[in-house]
Amino acid sequence: MSEKTLNPFEIAQQQVKTACDKLGTDPAVYEILKNPKRVLEVSIPVKMDDGSTKSFIGYRSQHNDAVGPFKGGIRFHHDVTRDEVKALSTWMTFKCGVVGIPYGGGKGGITVDPSELSKGELERLSRGFARAIAPIIGERIDIPAPDVNTNGQIMAWFVDEYEKTTGRFEPGVFTGKPVNFYGSLGRTEATGYGVAIMARDAAKRIGLPLEGATVAIQGFGNVGSYAAKYMVEMGSKITAVSDSSACIINEAGLDVAALVEYVNKNKKVKGFPGAAKEVDRNEVLTMDVDILMPCALENQITSKNVNDIKAKIVSEGANGPTTPEADKVLFSKGIIVIPDILANAGGVTVSYFEWVQNLMRYTWSFDEVQEKQEKLMVKAFDDIWALKEEHSVDMRTAAYMMSIKRIADAMKLRGWY
Ligand SMILES: NC(=O)C1=CN([C@@H]2O[C@H](COP(=O)(O)OP(=O)(O)OC[C@H]3O[C@@H](n4cnc5c(N)ncnc54)[C@H](O)[C@@H]3O)[C@@H](O)[C@H]2O)C=CC1
Ligand SMILES: O=C(O)CCC(=O)C(=O)O
């Protein structure tokens, strides 16, 4: 595949194939894993505020459920395509395998720019999507969650509409819900927290002190903002942050708490008074920093900019931010890439804890949740690091190798091959 096409689904298939080949798995394993088990495409008609009706296209891709119910977020974004959703669902299967939680992979999305909708239109669209996918989801079948441009309020609308449609009380059918509506403490923070602690553990391995280490973060939404907060707590300096509006820089370290407040109010980092300089948003990736955290979208580190990457560690908050070609260059330069399926697995890990609490009709404290998350992720990091050393591969290949083995074992026991 030429990098020019940058089709995320082809990239996901290539990553799975590389690890299957390295492991020498039965060819049936790749045959099963190369495509999602089911992809549902829906058209959602929405009554707009001006009285007109507009239809939106949405998807739910269910990649594999050998280990447990399908699990993964729902994205509202104007660039959502069928292939993007298929790729994201594939990555979810292997992410759940990496941390060893009892789920398979799923993902959903609607092709829409939600910033162009009123709150009422957004609610009607969300409810329409929940009704459209209700026949194929369920607390023990497929459990969606938030992703780009979706949040706890949207999860609450989804649950309400799903329950009305099915007539069942099933709050565990979606995770990432508000804490006062069957959500879990620690879920909002979970993905960014995981991205930070994985960077911490990689820094330890290469002897990089976190105190005073410099960090650049692409994307300042749920994942990027919490990754920034926890890196500051660990003593590092966030010298550059970008979002779709701009990249802001302050060599002395940005005041993250003030930036969060500014973004909550202004919806963008552009114009933040605590910045010393503002540059094009793409420059964030090539900043002279110790740690880079891509926390926005796919295909950001490519053959075009990879030679300009200066960070020693890349902790992937986003799904699919690095292309396979760029991966090879980073590996040859000795840059440690903590792959998405490990670095951002904190979100689905705490979604799993939320689901367990929902099924138990019980709640855990914030500290209990974070301790459990850290324990699972640190173990996965250590296991993957050991595998990478043993096979002289990059961390992504090692992570896929570990995960594919778990999924292949379950498929074998089920008699799927
Ligand atoms: N929210 C979660 O729990 C999880 C999210 N992820 C992944 O993390 C990434 C970010 O997700 P969230 O933070 O939830 O989304 P979000 O919607 O809260 O934030 C996305 C951020 O990326 C920025 N952005 C978009 N295009 C950009 C560009 N071209 N350059 C720079 N910034 C850009 C947006 O302005 C925004 O700041 C996605 O890849 C998502 O799939 C992965 C695991 C879990
Ligand atoms: O919390 C979840 O279930 C899934 C989060 C997600 O979509 C992801 O990890 O990419």
Which residue in this structure is represented by tokens 């979606």?
174
2 pLDDT more than 80? no
State mean pLDDT over 183-205: 98
Query: Does the CB atom of residue 275 touch ligand 2 within 6 A?
Result: no
State mean pLDDT over 9-23: 93
Q: How confident is the model at residue 5 (pLDDT cuts 50, 70, 90)?
A: low
Q: Summarize pLDDT for 221-244 with one digit per residue, the tens.
A: 999 999 999 999 999 999 999 999
Listed in sequence order, the DSSP H helices in 134-186 are 152-166
What's the pTM value of the predicted model, to 2 decimals?
A: 0.97
Ligand number nearest CA of 322 is: 1
Query: Does the CB atom of residue 347 touch ligand 1 within 6 A?
Result: yes
User: How many other CB atoms are there within 10 angstroms of residue 239's CB atom?
Assistant: 22
- If one residue of 147, 150, 319, 358 were mutated to test the ligand 2 pocket, choosing by the most ligand atoms within 8 A of its CB, it would be 147
> pLDDT at position 310, please?
98
Closest to 131 in 3D by CA, of 99, 166, 87: 166
1 pLDDT more than 60? no
The rounded distance, in Å, linking the Cα atoms of 4 and 6 is 6
Which residue in this structure is represented by tokens 């050998």?
66
The mean of the pLDDT values for the chain is 97
* Closest ligand 2 atom to Cα of 347: 1
Number of residues in the chain: 417
Residue list for the binding site for substrate: 71, 95, 351
108 pLDDT more than 70? yes
- If one residue of 191, 193, 349, 358 were mutated to test the ligand 2 pocket, choosing by the most ligand atoms within 8 A of its CB, it would be 191
In the reported structure, the alpha carbon of residue 367 is separated from the centroid of ligand 2 by a whole-number distance in angstroms of: 21
In the reported structure, the alpha carbon of residue 116 is separated from the centroid of ligand 2 by a whole-number distance in angstroms of: 24
State mean pLDDT over 14-30: 94
Q: Summarize pLDDT for 31-89 with one digit per residue, the tens.
A: 999 999 999 999 999 999 999 999 999 999 999 999 999 999 999 999 999 999 999 99
Q: Report all structural domains of the chain as residue ranges with CATH numbers, in order of start.
A: 35-166 (3.40.50.10860), 189-334 (3.40.50.720)
Residue 218 CB partners (closer than 8 Å, separation 6+): 224, 242, 281, 284, 285, 292, 293, 294, 295, 296, 300, 318, 321
> pLDDT at position 123, please?
98
Tokens encoding 175: 């995770």
Cα Rg of the chain (Å, integer): 20
Closest to 241 in 3D by CA, of 383, 59, 255: 255
> pLDDT at position 6, please?
78
Q: Summarize pLDDT for 354-395 with one digit per residue, the tens.
A: 999 999 999 999 999 999 999 999 999 999 999 999 999 999
State mean pLDDT over 341-364: 98
The rounded distance, in Å, linking the Cα atoms of 264 and 221 is 10
Residue 57 CB partners (closer than 8 Å, separation 6+): 41, 42, 43, 44, 110, 111
Residue type, 311: A
So what's the ipTM on this one?
0.99
User: How many other CB atoms are there within 10 angstroms of residue 252's CB atom?
Assistant: 9
> pLDDT at position 3, please?
63
Q: Summarize pLDDT for 317-334 with one digit per residue, the tens.
A: 999 999 999 999 999 999
Q: Does 47 participate in catalysis according to the annotation?
A: no
State mean pLDDT over 132-160: 98
Annotated catalytic residue within 17, 86, 107, 164:
107
Which residue in this structure is represented by tokens 């026991």?
413
In the reported structure, the alpha carbon of residue 74 is separated from the centroid of ligand 2 by a whole-number distance in angstroms of: 8
Q: How confident is the model at residue 8 (pLDDT cuts 50, 70, 90)?
A: very high
Helix (H) or strand (E) holding 211: none
Residue list for the binding site for NAD(+): 191, 222
